[in-house]
Amino acid sequence: MNHTAMQLLLAGLVVLPLVGALAALLPAPPGLRGKNPDQAVLRHGVTVTGVVLAAAIALATGFDHGHPARMQATTDISWIPALGIRIHLGVDGISLPLLVLTALLTFLCALYSYFRMPTGPSPKAFVALLLTLEAGTLATFAVLDLMLFFLAFEMVLIPMYFLIARWGGAHKQAAAWKFILYTLLGSVVMLLGLLLIGVKSGTFDMVALATDNGPKAQLSHTVQLLAVLAIGIGLAVKSPMWPLHSWLPDAHTAAPTVGSVLLAGVLLKMGTYGFVRIALPITPEGMHTFAPYLAALAAVGIIYGSLACLALVRKGAGGDLKRLIAYSSVGHMGFVLLGIASMTPTGVNGALFANIAHGLITGLLFFMVGALKDRTGSTDLDTLARSAPGPRPAGSGAAALLPAPSGAALYARAPRFGGLLAFGAVASLGLPGLAGFWGEMLAMFGAFRPAAGLSRPAFLTFMVLAGLGTLLTAAYLLLVVRRVCMGGSVDLAGAAVLGNPDPDGGTGADPDGTPAPAPALPDLARYEYAAWTPLAALTVLTGLWPAALLGLTDPAVQQLLGGGK
């Protein structure tokens, strides 16, 4: 494909959703009215996101896979000469997978909402906000100018705020406020860092900055330190990094299904992408100084996230399944940050891989939890796993593995649904052969041998902590599978003694032989197959063929870390 076509495709990726958002607010033209206005506008959303997805796939096909380190489909025109801001777009091996992931997830979200619109005000505004959100996220990954990056970063705030505040569940107002205030405070601080870079170096162009800051760095050490600190805070809030994560569980819990999927699937990636695209190449010295702290906080985040999940999954804790997956995101993003902090090609590649994997798997999980809530009316773990009336004796560990006679075991009530949920959980815990495995393993490899100059003992400690985190992650996810899918009452103490493999082994064996005492739930509907199969398939595909993704990112990462050579 020639250069102009690629340029148009990339520009179209950013502009199309915006045009679509505006069009969604206008009355439908004759011939496209559909059955009623709501249906017409939802269909409009599916069409636009579908076209965007097609453009993203075309872009990926036209992408020169032989030179993923080179910026392709570049557009570079002056926009605000007064501030030296240029409309500079481009795509390389780092941003291409994220662009495709964003387009895919948004399309699936639009498709899902077409059949199951979240309760709230008119779908018109919903579709317009969804499309604006998509434009902002795609722009974040496509722009190569620091100020445009900031603009795109901010662009997603308002749509996400309204998605949570208007279509969300309980405590939606408070959660939406927490989300926007945290992120905005972070991004304003980030703006200061970006301006510092721009003022000191005289350009906002990411490519130029990344190229110049190899050995002949223009930015002095102090400037780099300040810039990384400011930019890092903004990106860390978004990522989110412990201890700046506390907006995330609330936002996820309150958000509508589609909001949660996009929040976890794409919005969090904007933070880590910023680290890779801005902090690593433009301010390498500053990043070098802060890398151990970033890694330490990432490791704490991994442990913290999994401990919080373990606390939530406990019987009688009244834990919310959505909240649990949100906390698991804190842990997973900890791996991504650890990989970035190692500053090695291995670690950064792992981080980028984990980014995509997390987007696929957690997106799938949030979809399923949302659907589960629609079916049972609750995401409360105790309700979902409601066991026999009387408490079971704690000693009968083995018996507890069997579903309770009157339990709400998902396997019995909706076997396919339960199976897919178990698949998502197992993928999330990093089972080899699925997408979750490679990213986290590579991130830990990166920490095992961090970049020259970084304290190896410290990073080894972080790696061990991360390793412990994977065990804890496996523990809580398997407990989730056992409680939600198999039902039955399990107290945490018993489960911890039993260890991990048992429930895992149980996943395949139990459901068939058990009769379904509880009223059956509707199993996977056709539209749910349509929305979720791509995610599941890609999880398997990237798990089995990681080279497809690593081949794209690795050359680009090598170039970024090597100072643009």
Using rule CB under 8 A, residue 125 touches other proteins: yes
Contact between 497 and 503 under an 8 Å Cβ cutoff? The reply is no
Integer CA distances (angstroms), 205 to 86, 115, 241, 315, 319, in order: 8, 43, 27, 53, 46
Using rule CB under 8 A, residue 198 touches other proteins: yes
For other proteins, which residue of 23, 188, 300, 458 counts as binding (CB under 8 A)? Answer: 188
Using rule CB under 8 A, residue 282 touches other proteins: no
Using rule CB under 8 A, residue 108 touches other proteins: no
- Closer to other proteins by CB, 192 or 402: give it: 192
Using rule CB under 8 A, residue 15 touches other proteins: no
For other proteins, which residue of 8, 192, 431, 460 counts as binding (CB under 8 A)? Answer: 192
DSSP string across 466-528: HHHHHHHHHHHHHHHIIIIII-----HHHHHHH-SHHHHHHHHHHHHH----SPPPP---HHH
Using rule CB under 8 A, residue 100 touches other proteins: no
For other proteins, which residue of 114, 149, 161, 304 counts as binding (CB under 8 A)? Answer: 161
Using rule CB under 8 A, residue 189 touches other proteins: yes
Q: Can you tell me the distance from the alpha carbon of 536 to that of 439, in angstroms, rounded to the nearest whole number?
A: 17
Ramachandran assignment for 318, one of left (phi > 0), alpha (psi -120 to 50 degrees), beta (any other):
left
Contact between 486 and 506 under an 8 Å Cβ cutoff? The reply is yes
- Torsion angle, CA of 490/495/498/503, rounded to 10 degrees? 70
Binding mask 354-373 for other proteins (x = CB under 8 A): --------------------
| DSSP tag of 340 | H
For other proteins, which residue of 53, 105, 142, 147 counts as binding (CB under 8 A)? Answer: 147
Which residue, among 16, 87, 18, has the nearest Cα to 53 in the 3D structure?
16
The least CB distance from residue 154 to other proteins, in Å, is 5
Using rule CB under 8 A, residue 81 touches other proteins: yes
- Reduced to 3 states (helix: H, G, I; strand: E, B; else coil), residue 562 is coil
For other proteins, which residue of 6, 89, 143, 165 counts as binding (CB under 8 A)? Answer: 165
Task: Please enumerate in sequence order all residues whose Cβ is within 8 A of that of 12, keeping only pairs 6 or more positions apart, or say none.
Answer: 52, 55
Q: Can you tell me the distance from the alpha carbon of 129 to that of 120, in angstroms, rounded to the nearest whole number?
A: 13
SS3 of 59-85 = HHHHCCCCCCCCCEEEEEEEEECCCCE
The least CB distance from residue 199 to other proteins, in Å, is 5
Using rule CB under 8 A, residue 154 touches other proteins: yes
- Torsion angle, CA of 39/44/50/53, rounded to 10 degrees? -130
Using rule CB under 8 A, residue 160 touches other proteins: no
Using rule CB under 8 A, residue 129 touches other proteins: no
Using rule CB under 8 A, residue 162 touches other proteins: yes
Using rule CB under 8 A, residue 191 touches other proteins: yes
The least CB distance from residue 194 to other proteins, in Å, is 9
Using rule CB under 8 A, residue 136 touches other proteins: yes
- Closer to other proteins by CB, 152 or 434: give it: 152
For other proteins, which residue of 11, 23, 195, 311 counts as binding (CB under 8 A)? Answer: 195
SS3 of 363-401 = HHHHHHHHHHHHHHCCCEHHHHCCCCCCCCCCCCHHHHC
The least CB distance from residue 188 to other proteins, in Å, is 4
Enumerate the β-bridge partners of residue 80: 85
Q: Which of residues 213-252 bind other proteins (CB under 8 A)?
A: 226
DSSP string across 409-475: -HHHH-HHHHHHHHHHHHHHTT-TTSHHHHHHHHHHHHHHSPPTTS-HHHHHHHHHHHHHHHHHHHH
- Closer to other proteins by CB, 59 or 176: give it: 176
Stretch binding other proteins (CB under 8 A), from 51-59, 196-204, 512-520, 522-530 = 196-204
Contact between 539 and 364 under an 8 Å Cβ cutoff? The reply is yes
Contact between 286 and 456 under an 8 Å Cβ cutoff? The reply is no
Stretch binding other proteins (CB under 8 A), from 89-97, 146-154, 313-321, 424-432 = 146-154
- Closer to other proteins by CB, 107 or 150: give it: 150
Stretch binding other proteins (CB under 8 A), from 193-201, 236-244, 297-305, 385-393 = 193-201
Using rule CB under 8 A, residue 11 touches other proteins: no
Enumerate the β-bridge partners of residue 77: 87
Binding mask 408-447 for other proteins (x = CB under 8 A): ----------------------------------------
- Closer to other proteins by CB, 6 or 130: give it: 130
Residues near other proteins (CB under 8 A):
79-83, 85, 121, 125, 136, 147, 150-151, 154-155, 157-158, 161-162, 165-166, 177, 180-181, 184-185, 188-189, 191-192, 195-196, 198-199, 226
